Each structure stands twice: as structure tokens, then as C-alpha cells.
Amino acid sequence: MKVDVLLGLQWGDEGKGKIVDFLTPNYNVIARFQGGPNAGHTLEFNNIKHVLHTIPSGIFHDNTENLIGNGVVIDPIILISEIEKAKAIGTDIFKTLLISKKAHLILPTHRLLDAANENKLGKNKIGSTLKGIGPCYTDKVARKGLRVGDILSNDFIKKFNIIIESHKQQLDFLEFEYDLESSIQDWLNAIDKIRMMKIVDGEWFINHAITNNKKILAEGAQGSLLDIDYGSYPFVTSSNTISAGVCTGLGIAPNKTGNILGIFKAYCTRVGSGPFPTELFDADGENLRTEGNEFGSTTGRPRRCGWLDLVALKYSIMINGVSELYMMKTDVLDSFQKIKVATAYIIDGKRHTEMPYELSQNIEPEYVEFKAWNTDTSKFSKFSELPVELLQYIKFIEEETGVPIKIVSVGPNRNQTIISDNF
């Protein structure tokens, strides 16, 4: 079977964790293909709320295997703590989790370098989650990184020490003060635990699964507008978050990808620095943050909130080849009287419907205004029950994007998920 891909179409936190967990019973394998513990994917079921950073969101279903692909960067300490938290609620991840040998390792010094780089940028900082993502991918591309497969070799410690020494020199150059000793020991202890896990040739595992007709879902992290090539550069993450990243991040050929499931919030959020054309600084923005509980799953930072941006959404749909849309957090708009959607950008008096090279500060969004449904949607379970104003909102987005909306999510819980008749 071909590999379906689920990814976020905005600036992350669209609700990927919830939907992957919801869809997992339809799949044999869930695979993360990029990013690392900068991700925070939230799942809620049976009154339990769980946030995953590195582990694929299929882990709470016994019959599914979960692969951390080679495109992912792994912080061993965070991975082990995730595994232990899941174990505490009765899920033994050791059985169903596989790790690709070619995935790169985040060293304690990568995190320090992240902080040092951000310090140097001052008010121009990226707003990184400071998990060491950028420095780790930098070493990967510079051909100096340490991979999971290396922990099985005899000269692992030697390689590790060489990299740590070179990072220390960089930290000194950046005039960054640090204390490393205890984190190095914790890191090495976590590596000892990872050595006991299922470390595999990820590309062979996934291609055998394809040949054996297994159903596979690739789970994206971050969002398309944070993609290193197509996002709002330089305010992006350091990986390809788009569907093309699945091929390099798992080792599958382009003709082995199947449906591309694009997920977006019924409005828009962003955490960290960088342009955000539809950002709201008024009471509507505050309401979105409060109603949507828009605080980062990884860092707890308040998320910036704004109206849905169709210029950006259409761009993400194009870059990813999205075949179906899932609209998340619809219930957050339940208490609104009116809703706006941006359909164009006015830049220097000119109207643009295509994403410009840079999202500059002088973009004036052109909005279409809708009367809102003002109804509690969180208890609905069928499309036919949805209020007419919401159905009109859905139809408008479908017509503008040319892609069907097949899921409407109306709450954080697994069962607050409404599927369309043609799902």
C-alpha cells in the first residue's frame, strides 16, 4: 500500500496528534519523518491528556507499529522521559516503537548552541523552542553529526567527545556560559536505554511494509509555513515539513506516497517570532487564545492568534499536493458573532492572491466576513447536525481551495471528531 501523509498546513499545532491518534486504527504503521522534540502533539482520550514530542502519535493503539524515521532528530533524554510517562499510564512502548539507525542525535551541546545563537540574535531571534533542532540539523548537513546507528559501534564515545569539544569551542566563541557535566551523564544514561530498543534500518522496514501491503501513515511535525524552504524564512524550523520531506525522511520513493491529508485550524496561530499577516491584537485575538487554550504544548508560550488565511492555506495545499482537508478547533469559534477569512493580501496598494516571496510587515489582508453559528458544536457527531452558518463556512473554504473538507474537529477529545459522508 502507498504511504498516506498527514501534515499541518499552517504554523504548527493544528491538532496533528489528535487526528493521528483518531486515524491510527486504520493503519498498521505510523511514522514520524522530520522534526524532533520541538514538536508537541497532544492526544486526549479516556480523560487522559498526553503530549508526545518524538514518539509517533499512534503509540496508544496496541496493534500499530511506530517508526521514528531517519529524518527525525532525537534527544535521548526527552525520548526516554516520553517512554516512561507513557509506561506510567500502562502503555509499554518498547514493544511497538522502532528507531531508524540513520536518525540524528541531539547532543546536550546542541541545546546550548541553540540558546547561544538566539542570544546573539537578540530582538531578531527566531523564537526557537531551544531543543537543539537547528544546531543538530546544521551538523547533519555539515556531515559532522552523530546518528543512532553510531551508538552501536565501539568508537561511539570517541566520536561523541570529538563533537562535544568542537561545540565547546563554538560556545566559547559565542561567549556563552554553560554547565555541561550533569547533562552529559544524563544523556549517556539515556543512550544506554536506547541501545536496548528496536534500532532498525528504517528505509528497509518501511519499504518491506509497503511491499507487504501494510497501511502506513506518515505523521508530520510543525507546519508547512515553518518549512525550511517554503516557510516564512528565516523564521522557520530546520527541516522540510512538507510532503516532499516524507521521501527523504523515511526513505520512500515519491510514487509510493498516497493520500495527502492536510490539517488546519478554523483560524490561525503562530508561536515564536516572524510574520503573521492575519494576526489579531484585539478582543477577537484574545478570545481565540482563551477559547482555544492557545498556549504551546512544548514551551507553554502564549500562541499568537488571528483569522484564517486562505492565501497561505492555498499555498500550503499547492506545495504539498493536499488531497483532503481536515478542519480543526472549529468549536473555538462557537461563541463568535462574526468570523473573518483573508482571501488576498494588499501590498503597496496592489492586490495579491499568491503568496509573495516575503511576508513583509506592510501586508494588509483583504477579508470576507461571515455571520457565525453561535452554537455549541462540541456535542455534535454528524455533518448533518452542523449549523447552517458553519456548513456555509466549510463550503466557502472548499470552493476557494478546491479540496474537500472530510473531517471537522469540535473538541480535543478523540471522539469529538466529525467525519463527512464521503470519508
Q: Tell me how far, at minimum, the Cβ of 67 lies from Mg ion, in Å.
A: 20
* One-character DSSP codes across 19-51: HHHHHGGG-SEEEE-SB-TT--EEEEETTEEEE
- Other Cβ atoms within 10 Å of 330 Cβ, number: 25
Stretch that binds ligand GDP, among 21-29, 33-41, 59-67, 165-173 (CB under 6 A): 33-41
| Contact indicator for 409, 19 with CB cutoff of 8 Å | yes
Is 41 annotated as catalytic? Answer: yes
Give the closest residue to 216 by CA, choosing from 228, 206, 203: 206
Number of H helices, E strands in the chain: 11, 20
From 6, 11, 13, 416, residue interacting with Mg ion (rule: CB under 5 A): 13
Q: Which three cell numbers stand for residue 294?
A: 492557545
Q: Which three cell numbers stand for residue 190?
A: 539515556
Catalytic site residue from 4, 21, 41, 139 = 41
40 counts as binding Mg ion under rule CB under 5 A = yes
Binding to ligand IMO (CB under 6 A): which residues in 48-107?
Answer: none
Q: Which three cell numbers stand for residue 315?
A: 499555498
Stretch that binds Mg ion, among 40-48, 83-91, 359-367, 397-405 (CB under 5 A): 40-48
15 counts as binding ligand GDP under rule CB under 6 A = yes
From 332, 339, 341, 344, residue interacting with ligand GDP (rule: CB under 6 A): 332
39 counts as binding ligand IMO under rule CB under 6 A = yes
8 counts as binding ligand IMO under rule CB under 6 A = yes
Stretch that binds ligand IMO, among 36-44, 86-94, 206-214, 260-268 (CB under 6 A): 36-44
- Spatial neighbors of 302 by CB under 8 A, at least 6 apart, are 271, 289, 294, 295, 296
| Contact indicator for 394, 327 with CB cutoff of 8 Å | yes
Binding to ligand IMO (CB under 6 A): which residues in 250-279?
Answer: 271-272
Q: Which three cell numbers stand for residue 256?
A: 509510493
- Peptide linkage before 234 cis (omega within 30 of 0): yes
262 counts as binding ligand GDP under rule CB under 6 A = no
Stretch that binds Mg ion, among 128-136, 262-270, 289-297, 358-366 (CB under 5 A): 289-297
The set of catalytic residues is: 13, 41
Q: Rule CB under 6 A: which residues touch ligand IMO?
A: 8, 11-13, 38-41, 126-129, 131, 133-134, 221-223, 226, 235, 237, 271-272, 297
Q: Rule CB under 5 A: which residues touch Mg ion?
A: 13, 40, 297
